[in-house]
Amino acid sequence: MALDLERIRTHVDQHWDDDLVSVLHDFIAIPDVSPAFDPDWQDHGHIGAAVELVRSWCAARPIAGMTVDVVELDGRTPIVVCEIPATVDELADDTVLLYGHLDKQPEMTGWREGLGPWTPVLDDDRLYGRGGADDGYSVFAALTAVEALRANGGEHARLLVLIEASEESGSPDLPAHLEALGDRLGAVSLVVGLDSGAATYDRLWVTTSLRGVVSARLRVDVLTEGVHSGSAGGVVPSSFRILRHLLDRVEDSATGRVLIDALRVEVPAERTGQIEAIADEIVGDMAFPFAGGTVADHADAVDLVRARTWGPSIATIAVDGFPSADRAGNVLRPHTSVTLAIRLPPTADPTTATDALRAALTVDPPNGAAVTFDVDAAEAGWNAPPTSPWLQSALDEASVAFWGRPSSAMGEGGTIPFMGMLGERFPDAQFLITGVLGPESNAHGPNEFLHLPMARGITATVSHVLDAHTRR
């Protein structure tokens, strides 16, 4: 018997109002930045506090047969694992894996007055604060979806909810945990991930691809110590000038076009069709806080969406070697270092791309300067397998029931390393990757917010999809 989706929505809305907004206030207040930004995370205890909050909330859920464990490995961030037996005996060995993470990006500057990364603020339909949308809400939504499903006569296969604590660092601890879990993962036929985005808030958006990423530091040394700029200027090359010259080898500074062939791929025809179908509709919602008269790198809507989802990009996200402006003497600095976030198309090979970048940036440097290119992470992207008819029908039914419009598909420009890992490990699995990160939600930046109506709709959608999975 099909679920009564109106009853599901009512159940979900009540739980969000009565419980989830409150627990997310508590979660946002914990400054549990990811290990890459807090090497002493164990001593500081914030990740531990977030893990305990999630564990205790999960353990208090009235879901019959559920076990909740915190799995710890030496030197690794912990994971929270909730295992829920199937409601249907014949699906006891058929696993749905629901994924999320609880670690957060660092604070970032620029929060509006009255807002802050660790200060939860509810303003109408928006819950502001770091990590509520990316991705703290996911575990609370997942188990609420299960509760709503069971309370309203639905069925589900074996469920494994896995919440990690190193995703914002590139998930370096996750492979070890997957190895340790071993057979406990089971035979995964469906993956549900709630750590993605939405082009608009008026329907369900399903993610079809994710870009990969290379995180690296490029450093140029020209001196062993700083020297007087009047004495050395015109003789000693500027480390910054040489670094600019090296970056021009990999990116056209006038257009932003990436110049390395290994960082480009041919876009599959199916994805091209999806981009062309949605580009004109969503490009107006790709609202970024441009300053002054700044405009995007592309004027055409299709080009913009393609560049954001299947094109490579290079961003300089940090600079070292410069004193602050109020403490800068007339010194020719000995070195300049930048941190690069290099986004790769979903099907680009990260090892090949990294090797090509290293060769372009370090071979035969200008003036014989000392150049190093240190890679912190090189993660593959992900391209979803074809969606099965049962899943597409369930997604459209949920989107119409909870938003009034059919679902739509789009690629995302970010990276979720776990999706690539799972895609390799379970090649026959179906994927529901979605999320609440819509226009202006600003994950990783200031003024991040969770759009509560979107979160409610996604929670109810998970209930419907879990039930539909049993009848596929």
Give residue 285's pLDDT.
Answer: 67
* CATH, domain range 214-274+302-379: 3.30.70.360
Burial (CB count <10 Å: 0-12, 13-18, 19+), residue 65 = exposed
As a whole number of angstroms, the distance between CA 77 and CA 130 comes to 19
Domain ranges across the chain: 5-210+382-470, 214-274+302-379
- Tell me the pairing of strands 94-101 and 158-164: parallel
Record the tokens describing residue 358, joined without a space: 């290293």
Domains 5-210+382-470 and 214-274+302-379 agree in fold:
no
Q: Is there a contact between 93 and 187 (Cβ–Cβ < 8 Å)? A: yes
As a whole number of angstroms, the distance between CA 134 and CA 130 comes to 8
Residue 306 DSSP SS3? helix
As a whole number of angstroms, the distance between CA 465 and CA 156 comes to 9
**Cα–Cα nearest to 95, from 188, 163, 179, 23:** 188
**CB neighbours of 56 closer than 8 A, spacing ≥ 6?**
none
As a whole number of angstroms, the distance between CA 470 and CA 91 comes to 8
Q: Is there a contact between 120 and 29 (Cβ–Cβ < 8 Å)? A: yes
Helix (H) and strand (E) counts for the chain?
14, 18
Measured in whole angstroms, the distance separating CA 455 from the mean position of its chain's CA atoms is 16
Q: How would CATH label the architecture of 5-210+382-470?
A: 3-Layer(aba) Sandwich (3.40)
Dmax over Cα atoms in the chain, in whole Å? 84
Helices assigned H by DSSP within 29-156? 41-44, 46-59, 137-151
The residue whose two tokens read 């807002």 is 115
**Cα–Cα nearest to 221, from 366, 74, 95:** 366
**Crossing angle (nearest 10°) for helices 21-28 and 137-151:** 160
pTM to 2 decimal places: 0.89
Radius of gyration, CA atoms only, the chain: 23
Q: Angle at the Cα of 402 (from 84 to 467), degrees rounded to 5?
A: 30
Give residue 5's pLDDT.
Answer: 96
> Each residue's pLDDT tens digit in the chain (472 positions)?
678 999 999 999 999 999 999 999 999 999 999 999 999 999 999 999 999 999 999 999 999 999 999 999 999 999 999 999 999 999 999 999 999 999 999 999 999 999 999 999 999 999 999 999 999 999 999 999 999 999 999 999 999 999 999 999 989 999 999 999 999 999 999 999 999 999 999 999 999 999 999 999 999 999 999 999 999 999 999 999 999 999 999 999 999 999 999 999 999 999 999 999 999 988 876 678 899 999 999 989 999 999 999 999 999 999 999 999 999 999 999 999 999 999 999 999 999 999 999 999 999 999 999 999 999 999 999 999 999 999 999 999 999 999 999 999 999 999 988 888 888 888 899 999 999 999 999 999 999 999 999 999 999 999 999 999 999 9
Q: Residue 137: left (phi > 0), alpha (psi -120 to 50), or beta? A: alpha
Q: Is there a contact between 373 and 225 (Cβ–Cβ < 8 Å)? A: no
Record the tokens describing residue 268, joined without a space: 């599959």
As a whole number of angstroms, the distance between CA 104 and CA 50 comes to 10
Residue 375 DSSP SS3? strand
Q: Alpha carbon of 424 to those of 161, 214, 418, 419: distances in Å?
A: 19, 19, 10, 9
